[in-house]
Amino acid sequence: MKLTDSNLKVIVWSVTIIIPVVVTLLAYLPPLDLSPETAAKLYILPKMNAILNGTAFFALLGAWIAIRSGNIKLHRALTSTAVGLSVLFLLSYIVFHFTTAPTRFQGESTMKMIYLFILLTHIVLSAAIVPLVLFTYARGWAMEVEKHKRLAHFTWPIWLYVTATGVIVYLMISPYYPA
């Protein structure tokens, strides 16, 4: 079954709306009441998320190199890997924030401002990247090359920034996780 343009738009915009709604709700829901042992084990998830983001970053770099070399098959495989890693990240992120209390950055004022800037740009762009990735990926998969290329010129650098800043945010906040 071929996905029509109108169906693609409905799917992409639905996912684009659902993700931030779920993530925002997490900020207002109290964390689950878990045993201290179970809660402590969940703090592996942010490190795993950083690894997922970092790996997606390198997959995106590889995808760019592959397409510059004309290797469409490798480009497609690496882009699909980056999409898969990003989905795994999102699921892990939701599980972590649904089950644990928020951690506040406790650094000095200058570092706090840097952290907040990186975090804010990361959050805003991670919401904006969802429809861009989905449309760009769908256009590439359907071999609508010109549409894919036009979108990829915007999508790739933003997605690369989001994956990189995800790792940076983790490195900056992780010292403040409970021991």
Q: Does residue 71 form part of some domain?
A: yes
Q: Does residue 19 form part of some domain?
A: no
Q: Please report, for the chain, how many H helices and E strands are present, in that order.
A: 6, 0
Q: Does residue 2 form part of some domain?
A: no
The pLDDT tens digits of the residues spanning 84-127 come to 999 999 999 999 988 888 899 998 999 999 999 999 999 999 99
Q: Does residue 31 form part of some domain?
A: no
Type of residue numbered 138: A
Measuring CA to CA, which residue among 86, 94, 93, 91 is closest to residue 159? 86
Q: Structure pTM?
A: 0.89
Domain total of the chain: 1
Q: Does residue 9 form part of some domain?
A: no
Q: Does residue 106 form part of some domain?
A: yes
- CA 11 to CA 5: how far, in whole Å? 10
Domain harbouring 136, CATH code: 1.20.120.80
Return the residue matching tokens 């045993």. 35
Give the domain range for residue 89: 39-176
- CA 70 to CA 33: how far, in whole Å? 52
- CA 32 to CA 140: how far, in whole Å? 40
Q: Does residue 107 form part of some domain?
A: yes
